[in-house]
Chains A and B, each alone.
Chain A
Amino acid sequence: MSTIYLMLPIALLLGGGFVAAFIRAASQGQYDDLETPAHRMLLEDEKMSISTTQRGQK
């Protein structure tokens, strides 16, 4: 049973670490908009080459 005195602090430390990580993410505004990222991930990341060349011609 004495292992609990080792396990408990480790578990609490781990938990505390995740809480800290969450607080950091929330204060950076990662949870401000929960809708758009779901759509944004469907989009291509690459820049459009056509539009840039067209702009150059103008």
Chain B
Amino acid sequence: MVYSLLQERGLGDYYLLREKGRMLRKNGPAPAPSLSSDMQSHLDDPEFLELYATAEGQVRSMQFYLEGVHCTACVWLAEKTAEWVEGVISIRLDLGHSLATVKIGPNGSFSRVAREFARLGYRPHPVRQDEAWVRQARENRSALIRMAVSAAGAGNIMLLAVAVYAGAEGSFARHFEWISFALCLPVATYGAWPFYRSAWIALRSRQLSIDIPIALGMIVGFGASIVSLFFRSKHVYFDTVSALIFLLLASRYLLRKTQQEAMHASRLIHFLTPSLVRKKIQEGESVVYQEVKAEQIRSGDEVLVLAGECIPVDGIVRDGNSSLNIALMTGESRHERVGAGSLVFAGTMNHQAPIKIEATAEVSATRLARILSSVEEQISRKAPIVAFTDSIAKKFVLVSLGLVGVAFLIGWSVSPDEAVSRALAMAIVACPCAFAFATPLAMSVAMGRSAKNGVLIKGADVLEKLAHVDQVVLDKTGTLTAGEFEVQSWIHDSDAPEAARAVYALESRSMHPIAKAMVVYLRAIVTDEQSVEIGDFEEKIGRGVSGSLFGHRYEIRSWGESSGSSIEGSTIAVIRDGKIVARAVLGDRLRDDAVQAVDRLRAMGLRIGILSGDGRSAVQRVARQLGVLPRDAISGASPEAKSALVKPLPRALMVGDGANDAIALASAYVSVAVHGGLEISMRSADVYHCVPGILPVAQLIELARETMKVIHRNFAFSLVYNAIGTWAALTGRVDPLFAAVLMPASALTVFFSSIAGTRRLRHAFETEERR
């Protein structure tokens, strides 16, 4: 569909560009657009615009988070959209954040743009313009300007200082010192302002922060230099102070940027729009279905659910026949037929045809909502290791302030000048900056790295938990298997050679999942795809298809004891004029990467278990294929039973379908959703995969483990540095300028250590591509 759209718009270049883009950035494939993404008309709702759009005269703009943009071709395609959608002034894409800013004129509409994005395969999520977001952008700019002013000041002061160190004397030295003072003034006031402010806030609330010794060092250094300047003393520290300020600002800026990049992905959950449903509204004679927020549905309202959509509320079917995937309720990969009068539950998936449902409960009262509301508050948890280092860093600050006093006293015994010099060196060197940044930085980098690979991690604590995991519980349907029918065998009688062609022709007309699987399988057998005349074609929901062709009456229907509703081991019979001439056995297809992923997880020393609602034979077959012990493969478990089984496991990672296994995912120690919608997955699981397959689970655990290693290495770096620096400052072996250069150097060491990670961390997401 996307291809034809591209051709129609004359954008065939996209494919050429995409190849180029692939070479620039290796990345996973874009996720397939969902069927429900056509629902965009709410974007033009004035109430919605009020919250999400900003207006400047006639021009309105809105930001969209686009799922799946990852390369040059995406930039081109997304921005070119402006040229063929009416009323759009411009579209700018920020690739790093996957944010598209859309500007439209008076005759444009955001829903048209959003629909176009969705058709291109980038699922759009409108982003709310919240205060924090605007403030962050403003602060980034001002941090950059402070850094530039400090850099210019520090650089020029350094040039003048070198002349003095080299032996400039008399009036030259005097003038240079005064110029240094003039250059240092904006640096020490405007540039260092954030440190003063943060230290003051900490002091006022009687808290300890690492900015206190830093601000103290700056004030002491700058103040002592001014005093020296007026009293013609030797010791002027303008070079030290300005270099310190610039280097600290630079390292803070790098930290900020890295953390913001990583935070972005996890912030996404707050941006997500409420899910929408089509509610029936009577307008005089005509009946329209209007999109409303799911929360507005009341008992008795009628809603329309299209094929491929999730049922939003518990209710009774009023009109339409379809089959539902009720795995959420039963845990089994079964398709249940529904018609007028059937009871349906929220969270089940409508597979075949549109149905109309009368709601019997509000959305918040459904079983699914009750499950999810209990896990909402987990989002902003702090990782234990972060809390631990926070408290250590505070003690460090206290110790370093004490050490500054000690250094001053020791220096005083030599001379007052020496006392200031040593205290200054100590204040600079003893600050536990690197220690305080070691953990959050490494975690942010890991989260950013995984987000770029299509794996969204909800919080820093998740990474730490993942590193401690010792067993993995995998759901079968939709996780290990693709959740799709696959023809496992096909036998036809020798006197019916045309059966394959007949079945192919008949099943091509059906949209049922079994029919699709049959078509895929038979395409290899049926070589000539000429169209066949079919007489009185008939499709009965849940019974099969029939039609007249090749002079015979053909009927294709489910056969045998399993009555065709379960994916596993369904047998399909082909009946020609009342006699069976062919049979096909269907099963659930194992994912391509399942065996490899399970092998890798096992190689990492993890115990593997399978948990499924399906029948014993099907689960054991998959377990055999994956080499999982029969006793570790549990079958016939309902969602509640799965949850009960997973909950007591102390360090278990649950991997499942975000929609169907929501309950089990929410109750597990840590969980990964590999499938299902973004919204529901982010609510029930700790990690969500935008990319298909389960190999990323193994990569994720590796990433978490390596990240913990990096954190420990960062600790070692910063502690060794602080110990040596403190000793040297106490004994007067470092002068303040040297300390000012060393101190940000330790923070930078930690920064590069975190960025570089370990060799295995760097290749965590790459190795499989190369194989």
Contacts and interface: CB of A to CB of B under 8 A. Distances in A.
Given A26-B145, A33-B96, A35-B95, A51 B11 contact: yes
B10 A51 contact: yes
Given A39-B95, A42-B20, A52 B76 contact: no
Interface residues of B, number: 36
A48 B145 contact: no
Contacts of A31: 141, 144
Nearest to B13: A44
A19 B137 contact: no
Given A34-B96, A39-B95, A50-B10, A55 B84 contact: yes
A contact patch SS: helix
Contact of B72 (A11, A16, A43, A55): A43
B739 interface: no
B148 interface: yes
Contacts of A12: 156, 179, 183
B728 interface: no
Nearest to B143: A26
A18 B152 CA distance: 9
A8 B178 CA distance: 13
A55 B333 CA distance: 45
Interface residues of A, number: 31
Interface in A6-52: 8, 11-12, 15-16, 18-19, 22-23, 26-27, 29, 31-36, 39-40, 42-43, 47-48, 50-52
B284 to A, nearest CB: 32
A35 B24 CA distance: 12
Contacts of B83: 47-48, 51-52
Interface in B1-57: 8-11, 17, 20-21, 24
Contacts of B141: 26-27, 29, 31-32
A3 interface: no
A23 B145 contact: yes
- A4, A26, A34 interface centre (most CB from chain B within 10 Å): A26
A10 B271 CA distance: 51
Contacts of A51: 9-11, 80, 83-84
A55 B81 CA distance: 12
Nearest to A29: B141
B69 to A, nearest CB: 10
Contacts of B156: 11-12, 15
Contacts of B145: 22-23, 26-27
Contacts of A47: 83
Nearest to A50: B10
A12 to B, nearest CB: 7
B434 interface: no
A35 B92 CA distance: 13
A58 B519 CA distance: 35
A19 B96 contact: no
B76 A43 contact: yes
B152 A15 contact: yes
A34 to B, nearest CB: 7
A48 B353 CA distance: 39
B contact patch SS: helix
Contacts of B149: 19, 23
B15 to A, nearest CB: 14
Contact of A39 (B10, B72, B97): B72
Contacts, number: 86
B94 A36 contact: yes
Contacts of B10: 48, 50-51, 54
B75 interface: yes
- B83, B137, B145 interface centre (most CB from chain A within 10 Å): B145
A44 B491 CA distance: 55
Nearest to B99: A33
B95 A36 contact: yes
A54 B86 CA distance: 13
Nearest to A43: B76
Interface string B178-193: 0100010000000000
Nearest to A16: B152
Contacts of A4: 172
Contact of A35 (B17, B80, B94, B152): B94
- B9, B71, B75, B76 interface centre (most CB from chain A within 10 Å): B75
Contacts of A48: 9-11, 80, 83
B1 to A, nearest CB: 18
Given A23-B145, A42-B20, A55-B84, A36 B93 contact: yes
B65 to A, nearest CB: 15
B9 A26 contact: no
A32 to B, nearest CB: 6
A23 B94 contact: no
Given A26-B145, A33-B94, A34-B96, A39 B9 contact: no
B374 interface: no
A24 to B, nearest CB: 10
B152 A23 contact: no
B617 interface: no
A40 to B, nearest CB: 6
A19 B152 contact: yes
B96 A26 contact: no
Contacts of A36: 75, 92-96
A8 B179 contact: yes
A38 B152 CA distance: 27
Given A48-B11, A51-B11, A32 B20 contact: no
A40 B77 CA distance: 11
Interface in B124-172: 137, 140-141, 144-145, 148-149, 152, 155-156, 172
A9 to B, nearest CB: 9
A35 B96 contact: yes
A16 B186 CA distance: 12
A20 to B, nearest CB: 10
B157 to A, nearest CB: 11
- B10, B11, B21, B149 interface centre (most CB from chain A within 10 Å): B10
A11 to B, nearest CB: 8
Contacts of B155: 15
A29 B145 CA distance: 11
A22 B148 contact: yes
A17 to B, nearest CB: 10
A35 B84 CA distance: 25
B140 A32 contact: yes
B245 to A, nearest CB: 15
A26 B144 contact: yes
Interface in B85-118: 86, 92-97
Contacts of B71: 39
12 contacts: A12-B179, A29-B141, A32-B137, A34-B96, A39-B71, A42-B17, A42-B20, A43-B72, A43-B79, A51-B11, A52-B83, A54-B9
Interface of B: 8-11, 17, 20-21, 24, 71-72, 75-76, 79-80, 83-84, 86, 92-97, 137, 140-141, 144-145, 148-149, 152, 155-156, 172, 179, 183
Given A23-B149, A47-B83, 18 more contacts: A4-B172, A12-B179, A15-B152, A16-B152, A18-B152, A22-B145, A27-B145, A33-B96, A36-B75, A36-B96, A39-B21, A39-B75, A48-B11, A48-B80, A50-B9, A52-B83, A54-B9, A54-B10
Q: Which 6 A-B pairs have the closest CB atoms?
A: A50-B10, A35-B96, A39-B72, A36-B95, A33-B94, A19-B152
Interface of A: 1, 4, 8, 11-12, 15-16, 18-19, 22-23, 26-27, 29, 31-36, 39-40, 42-43, 47-48, 50-52, 54-55
